[in-house]
Structure 1
Amino acid sequence: MARDEKAKAKVEQAKGKIKETGGRAVGNEGMTAAGRAKKAKGDVRQAKEKTKDAFKQ
């Protein structure tokens, strides 16, 4: 299960980065902000998984 969550975090981060970059390229601030938010959500998910791993050991 932890691998699935870690993979989801990486995918969210990647999608967010792509959306943010695309938004910047076309000058769409809404798209850029949405991409940043999605990337941040992935960052939070990854931090949660790292915390869980730290407590397992």
Structure 2
Amino acid sequence: MGIGDKIQNKAQEVSGKTKESVGDATDNHKLQAEGAKDQAEAKAKQAGEHVKDAAKDAKDGLTDK
């Protein structure tokens, strides 16, 4: 994944935290849930990126030897 994807995913996570906080402050359960969902999606995407990065690093390590 490119740096642009990583930035987008982090932005989605921050946006989700903001939505959840605003939902907490305004007692808006729908906004709280939407914020939590956005955070979960972003974290899942980030986990996938970490797996891909680790696989690439392992592959690069094998070809360097």
| Pairwise TM-score range, normalised by the shorter structure | over 0.9
Q: Which amino acid aligns with 1:55?
A: A
Aligned residues: 57
Indicate the percent of aligned positions where both proteins have the same amino acid.
35
In the TM superposition, residue 9 of structure 1 has moved relative to its aligned partner by 1.1
Residue 17 of structure 2 aligns with which residue?
17
For 2:35 and 2:11, how far apart are their aligned partners in 1?
12
For 2:19 and 2:51, how far apart are their aligned partners in 1?
27
The reply on whether 1:46 has 2:16 as its aligned counterpart is no
The TM-score, its normalising length taken from structure 1, stands at 0.94
Q: Which amino acid aligns with 1:31?
A: L
Larger radius of gyration: 2
For 1:49 and 1:9, how far apart are their aligned partners in 2?
10
The TM-score, its normalising length taken from structure 2, stands at 0.83
Task: List, as ranges, runs of 4+ consecutive aligned residues in structure 1 with deviation greater than 3 Å.
Answer: none
What is the Cα-based RMSD across aligned positions, in Å?
Answer: 0.9
For 2:13 and 2:39, how far apart are their aligned partners in 1?
4
Q: Which amino acid aligns with 2:48?
A: K
What residue ranges of structure 2 are gaps of 5+ in the alignment? Answer: 58-65
Residue 36 of structure 1 aligns with which residue?
36
What residue ranges of structure 1 are gaps of 5+ in the alignment? Answer: none
